[in-house]
Amino acid sequence: MKRARHATLLFLLILALPLCAASVFCSSPNTEDQGGSYYSGTVYTGSHLRIGVNDYGALGVYDASLGDVGFQYPIGYGYESLAVGWWGDGWSVFYGGEGAGFSPADGAWGTISGVTPIVTSRPTPYGHVHVIEMNTSDNVLKLLFKVEFFNAKKYVKVETHITNIGELAITDLEFKRIVDWDVWQPTIGDFDNYWGVDDVRRPDLNLAVAFLNSSVTGGPSVYMGFASLERPTNYDLNWDDYGSRGFILPPLHGSITVDGKAPFFFDGAVVYQWLLGELKPGETKVIHTIYAAGDTLEELENNVGEALRQYRPPVGGVVMPVEAPAPDLATIISVALAVAVAAAAMAATRRLIKLKPL
């Protein structure tokens, strides 16, 4: 009897192990937020930066105690450079005759209007990884935004993954990102910045720069940048040309010269456009971008270069191979239970054979 009780306990323990593992798996440290307004999100504060990551994949949130937070360097509302004025950080995607996009000022529009994103965040040894996922209402695209925040760095990495979850190939995929820098507007009381693209000094960075110098601030200079690993098909140093395909007017271009001078001083934004072409069912294309700060143009360039080097292949907006779907949790548990039952049955059979009287 004692041996039989031990066998029964062992059998029950084997059955329970997969369920315990499932419980640990489900109670991971990730947090999930299913709701919120267009100004909701998460604020991250490090030693150099404070940023607000919106629940729809842009920078710019409203915090009850901190106020508007988008991109602060140094930390403090007086040094806010993004979540002011028009709240113009955002993105848009176009496919066939459809489109979708978001900025805190405009809210969600097109085929993500009314869609509730799934938001998760987990700590890392260096900061946080923040992931936002949503499907378009027509079930054609899955959009995933991965934001990496670093406690001790002056940059933020934002990846955009676009997956075709529909049944037909997309032949004319287009993606845009808009960044309305208003460098230190609360401090200087002016929305104007010096603007230029750093394609003469560092053409490898695909870096658009908005900055102020001591002649404007009466104090230190500061540089803010938006960069991408993938060279944009086109860009505009102008305004909010992100709500439709292409550009309404001829894009405004201007290079920062080798001596660091910029051609424009005005209140504007940068819009990057990527024409990504065909996207077959099950395939994904990825755009890798950087938001960064520096006290000099050289420091900004170094920060952007360091951040871009962290991206690993496959990169470059390439099509990622279609992978077999991973088994879900129910499948894992059922398989584990089947294995456990079979193992227990075999063990019980062996014991019965050994105990059978001659």
Q: 90-119 burial string, b = 16+ CB within 10 Å, else e?
A: bbbbbbeeebbbbbbbbebebbbeebebeb
Digit-by-digit pLDDT tens for the chain (358 residues) are 333 333 333 333 333 333 333 222 222 212 223 234 688 999 999 999 999 999 999 999 999 999 999 999 999 999 999 999 888 899 999 999 999 999 998 899 999 999 999 999 999 999 999 999 999 999 999 999 999 999 999 999 999 999 999 999 999 999 999 999 999 999 999 999 999 999 999 999 999 999 999 989 999 999 999 999 999 999 999 877 899 999 999 999 999 999 999 999 999 999 999 999 999 999 999 999 999 999 999 999 999 999 999 986 554 444 444 333 344 344 334 434 444 444 454 454 444 334 344 3
Residues with Cβ within 8 Å of residue 280, at least 6 apart in sequence:
164, 169, 170, 319
Domain 34-309 CATH class label? mainly beta
How far apart (Å, rounded) are the C-alpha atoms in residues 68 and 232?
A: 29
Given the DSSP bridges, would you call strands 170-179 and 269-279 parallel, antiparallel or unpaired?
antiparallel
Q: Are 32 and 120 in contact (CB under 8 A)?
A: yes
Domain ranges of the chain: 2-28+327-355, 34-309
Rg (CA), the chain: 26
Q: 180-206 burial string, b = 16+ CB within 10 Å, else e?
A: bbbbbbbbbeebbbbbbbbbebbeebb
Could you tell me the CA-to-CA distances from 41 to 33, 73, 98, 199 in Å, in that order? 9, 19, 26, 33
Residues pairing with 33 in the sheet = 119
For residue 78, give the DSSP letter.
G
Q: Are 308 and 198 in contact (CB under 8 A)?
A: no
**What count of residues does the chain have?**
358
How far apart (Å, rounded) are the C-alpha atoms in residues 109 and 130?
A: 22
